[in-house]
Amino acid sequence: MPNILVIDDSWFQRASIRSILEELGYHILEAENGRIGLLMAVKHEPDCVLLDVLMPEMDGITTLRKIREQELSMPIIMVTADTQDTTKQQCLQLGAQQVLHKPIDPDGDLLPTVVQQALAR
């Protein structure tokens, strides 16, 4: 059962993502900010990370950069309400596998599909 780390300051978003992915059999780890998420990524080395861009303490772009500096190679999927192409391009240049836009549709298949694709690579 793959471990997925969800790093998002919104309890609601974490709960929504957890609900979708647990139904598919994934084990979910959660962090409420980038600082804690980075520590958890280093400690647990999850199979995939879902990472919010805008968070207090340490934003997602900084967290992404620091995860890559630790030479952790798990796929990272950015999840954001920011729809600017420059943000998306920056995330992809730093090594994010994909950028998804919030809110995540709890009834859609986009999130499960993207996670499955990320894990398959």
Here the CATH number for the domain that contains residue 103 is 3.40.50.2300
b vs e for 95-116, b when ≥16 Cβ sit within 10 Å of the residue's Cβ? Answer: ebbbbeebeeeeeeeebeebbe
Question: Which residues are paired to 49 by β-bridges?
Answer: 5, 76
- Would you state the pLDDT for residue 47? 97
Looking at the structure of the chain, the number of domains it has is: 1
Within 10 Å of residue 23's Cβ, how many Cβ atoms? 9
- Would you state the pLDDT for residue 107? 82
List, for residues 5-60, the tens digit of each pLDDT value: 999 999 999 999 999 999 999 999 999 999 999 999 999 999 999 999 999 899 99
Cβ–Cβ < 8 Å for 34, 41: no
Domain carrying residue 41:
3-120
How much is the pTM?
A: 0.95
Question: Which residues are paired to 51 by β-bridges?
Answer: 7, 78
Average predicted confidence (pLDDT) for the chain = 94
